[in-house]
Amino acid sequence: MNKQHPRTLTDNDVIDRFIETQSQDDFGILYSRYSNKVYSKCLSLLKNEVAAQDATQEIFLKIFLNLANFNRKSRFSTWVYSITYNFCIDYLRRKKKERMIVSDDQNVEGQDLEDDGDDKDLLEMEIDRLKTVLDLIPVEDKAVLLMKYREELSIREISHVFGKTESAIKMKIKRAKSKTRTVYKNLYETK
Amino acid sequence: MENWKNVEPEFEAPKVIKKDVESSLGFFRGAGRMIDLYLGKIGWLFGGMLRGYHVDEDPAENTPDQGSENDAGQYSPDI
């Protein structure tokens, strides 16, 4: 049994202990590490406090009931992010509040997947404008841009979250950036 | 990049969520134990039934001793 101080334990150490003992302490450690992140993400995507609260509860239940199935191929934080993101997207689909984009896996071949590489304008957007623009683009585009620029996830990690190929993710990011620029121009650069 | 870090502020999750998750997990664990117990009972029942129908593979052990033939081929009852 690992009796290290909770702060020095990695997520995987705590998960192993929780699976073995089902102890409330280990539940508490994992919960305290991720609850604010999950709740904030739900709030950002669902834009409703009650829905975010319910979603956070269900997401944590899902996480703890499926902990033994976590295969350690990705970081635990990426796995948590993946469950959170997919839960919120499913919720929005059920509520039909968002028109979802048809799978980006289609027609990817032959298209220019390479990122333009010039993110300067996106990175330097003034924060209030950026918030406004992100709230006006489809939620999947917002999520993929936040994964790339806020969480700084790699393309491989983002592909795990979405369950899509790396090529599809590159295309998705490129389209999301293009939509962000278009909305920004329409809002702030036209008279 | 700094503006992207601050674009989605982190909020504290309401305390009630933790309690709800804990009680739901407790419920699922309890239900899991009940199912284990139930499956265990069924397993025990089937095991018992199979034991009831068990037939020894060596029939000689199950047949009453009815004597044997001696070297001359004559029948003599065992005493």
Parts of chain A belonging to CATH 1.10.1740.10: 6-95
Q: Do A125 and B5 touch (CB under 8 A)?
A: no
Closest-CA distance, A36 to chain B, in angstroms, reads 5
Q: A43 by DSSP, 3-state: which?
A: helix
Q: How many CB pairs under 8 A join A and B?
A: 70
**Distance between CA atoms of A121 and A123, rounded to whole angstroms?**
6
- pLDDT (0 to 100) of residue A107: 45
* Residue-averaged pLDDT of chain A: 85
Q: Do A131 and B4 touch (CB under 8 A)?
A: no
- On whether the CB atoms of residues B21 and A31 are closer than 8 A, the answer is yes
Among chain B residues, CA nearest to A38? B13
A70 touches chain B (CB under 8 A): no
- On whether the CB atoms of residues A74 and A157 are closer than 8 A, the answer is yes
Asked whether residue B1 carries a pLDDT value surpassing 60, the answer given is yes
Confidence of residue A108 (pLDDT cuts 50, 70, 90): very low
Closest-CA distance, B33 to chain A, in angstroms, reads 13
DSSP class of residue A69 equals G
* Fold exhibited by the domain A120-189: Arc Repressor Mutant, subunit A (1.10.10)
**Distance between CA atoms of A175 and A189, rounded to whole angstroms?**
20
Confidence of residue A119 (pLDDT cuts 50, 70, 90): confident
B19 touches chain A (CB under 8 A): no
Parts of chain A belonging to CATH 1.10.10.10: 120-189
Among chain B residues, CA nearest to A37? B10
- Segment A107-112 shows an average pLDDT of 47
Q: Do B5 and A150 touch (CB under 8 A)?
A: yes
- pLDDT (0 to 100) of residue A58: 94
- pLDDT (0 to 100) of residue B66: 55
**Distance between CA atoms of A175 and B17, rounded to whole angstroms?**
36
- With a CB cutoff of 8 Å and minimum separation 6, the contacts of B16 are A53
- pLDDT (0 to 100) of residue A114: 57
B15 touches chain A (CB under 8 A): no
How deeply is B62 buried, as exposed, middle or buried, from its count of CB atoms within 10 A (0-12, 13-18, 19+)? Answer: exposed
- For residue A118, give Cα distances in angstroms to A70, A110, A114, A144, A177: 36, 22, 11, 17, 10
Confidence of residue A115 (pLDDT cuts 50, 70, 90): low
- Segment A9-23, tens digit of pLDDT: 899 999 999 888 888
Asked whether residue A98 carries a pLDDT value surpassing 70, the answer given is no
Asked whether residue A180 carries a pLDDT value surpassing 70, the answer given is yes
- Segment A52-89, tens digit of pLDDT: 999 999 999 999 989 888 988 889 999 999 999 999 99
A174 touches chain B (CB under 8 A): no
Q: Do B11 and A65 touch (CB under 8 A)?
A: no
**Distance between CA atoms of B24 and B30, rounded to whole angstroms?**
10
- On whether the CB atoms of residues A105 and A159 are closer than 8 A, the answer is no
Enter the CATH code of domain A6-95: 1.10.1740.10
- Segment A20-62, tens digit of pLDDT: 888 888 889 999 999 999 999 999 999 899 999 999 999 999 9
Least confident of A131-140, A146-155, A166-175, B46-55: B46-55
Q: Do A150 and B10 touch (CB under 8 A)?
A: no
Q: What is the ipTM of this complex?
A: 0.70
Other beta carbons within 10 angstroms of residue A137's beta carbon come to: 19
B17 touches chain A (CB under 8 A): yes
Asked whether residue A105 carries a pLDDT value surpassing 50, the answer given is no
Among chain B residues, CA nearest to A55? B17
> DSSP string spanning A44-66?
HHH--HHHHHHHHHHHHHHHHHT
- Segment B19-36, tens digit of pLDDT: 999 888 887 777 767 777
Using a CB-CB cut-off of 8 Å, the residues of chain B touching A37 are: 10
B10 touches chain A (CB under 8 A): yes
- Segment A123-143, tens digit of pLDDT: 888 999 999 999 999 989 999
Closest-CA distance, B20 to chain A, in angstroms, reads 7
Using a CB-CB cut-off of 8 Å, the residues of chain B touching A27 are: 22, 25
- pLDDT (0 to 100) of residue B69: 56
B6 touches chain A (CB under 8 A): yes
- pLDDT (0 to 100) of residue B71: 58
